[in-house]
Chain A
């Protein structure tokens, strides 16, 4: 790509020609690690919320978890995990620390999202299930979770987008993701503007794409919850 090709004066994207494989590898690492962290975060969030709401003794601990991880910056949580972890016997390589750190951080937000999702389901639906003799686990799987999945989709996609953007901080604990790879290119080529602009554009594409996909999925999932127009 050349400056003329993009129509931007003073920029020369040709410097990046040799680096596209590096950039794409970084992008793939970002996507991979974010995917893993989002899954971990969803699992942790759901687990924490189920414990908080259904096991009385566990509730205070769940609250402390949520308050701590929502109340402090992701970067300091990563430092705690990566630099202080070995002191208590937890030694993780940067990628693993990144996934665990982002996952625990995201889990606190997902827990709050799941909480409002569960609370939005009318109690009566569960009373009906109880009257029919349905065990609580069955009601959770068949009545609560499917409805919650649709209810929490928009905030969960939103939170996932935030996690993708936050994943840039993994560069600071030397994970070779998109931002790290790009700063390597800056150091090697002594060009600043072009790599940074490409970096910004790639994140924007990732985030905007995911947001569009989320909106489409939400429309699909909630189709039957809205009265269709043909019946009056």
Chain B
């Protein structure tokens, strides 16, 4: 099956690949947003003074960071139906990816909270603000701004990790290219094109991350 690479085939199937890329982006964005909820909740438990909560959060973080995403995807995809929950593959994919990302985001937020001088919360307390209000109005907004560059990195990771959802039949970029390869028998051109699409998306995100970093540094919010 040796042949000279012919990228016109890749060009002909570009619409299918781009459709896959759109799913890749959608799944990644949905997972980072859902992961933000998971991560913030886990982080608040992790830094909570209630021991059982903190321990549960530690266990969650350790477990989710210690299991391959592919295995997590299989667990969510195959085990939720056992519990009577039927989900489309895309939903299972987003659940698994956001659980994984949530564990990593929790640690990112913990660093964010640690970087805010404790005096700010003390000042709010002295003014009679409740703890929930201090979190919502004073701390979380600042943490989110500070961790933005790390979140962009996390999104890049998610974008690459989302290729694993092809294993549970989500037709994202990788599975779309597998389908094209099955029809054309041109793995070199198609997979190379798909890989370059990933590189392009990630380079775009890196550039975005660089801009975010520069903006924040300009406002004196982030030093690095």
Contacts and interface: CB of A to CB of B under 8 A. Distances in A.
Asked whether the complex places CB atoms of A and B closer than 8 A, the reply is yes
Chain B interface SS verdict (over half): helix
Which residue of B1, B65, B67 has the most chain A CB atoms within 10 A of its CB atom?
B67
A80 B188 contact: yes
Nearest to B69: A165
Q: For the complex, would chain A's binding face be called helix, strand, loop or mixed by DSSP majority?
A: helix
Contacts of B82: 192-193
Interface stretch (A1-9, A38-46, A85-93, A220-228): A85-93
B70 A171 contact: yes
Interface in B28-85: 62-63, 65-72, 74-75, 78-79, 82
A204 B192 contact: no
A192 B78 contact: yes
A204 B191 contact: no
A179 B68 contact: yes
Nearest to A192: B78
Interface string A44-87: 00000000000000000000000110111111110110011011
Interface residues of A, number: 38
Interface residues of B, number: 39
Nearest to B160: A73
A71 B174 CA distance: 14
26 contacts: A71-B202, A76-B174, A79-B187, A80-B187, A84-B188, A86-B1, A86-B2, A87-B188, A88-B2, A165-B69, A166-B68, A167-B68, A168-B70, A169-B68, A169-B164, A179-B71, A192-B82, A193-B79, A196-B78, A196-B79, A197-B75, A200-B67, A200-B71, A207-B66, A208-B62, A208-B66
Interface of A: 67-68, 70-77, 79-80, 83-84, 86-89, 165-169, 171-172, 179, 183, 186, 192-193, 196-197, 199-200, 203-204, 207-208
Given A167-B68, A168-B70, A203-B68, 10 more contacts: A68-B195, A72-B202, A87-B2, A165-B68, A165-B69, A168-B68, A196-B71, A197-B75, A200-B63, A208-B62
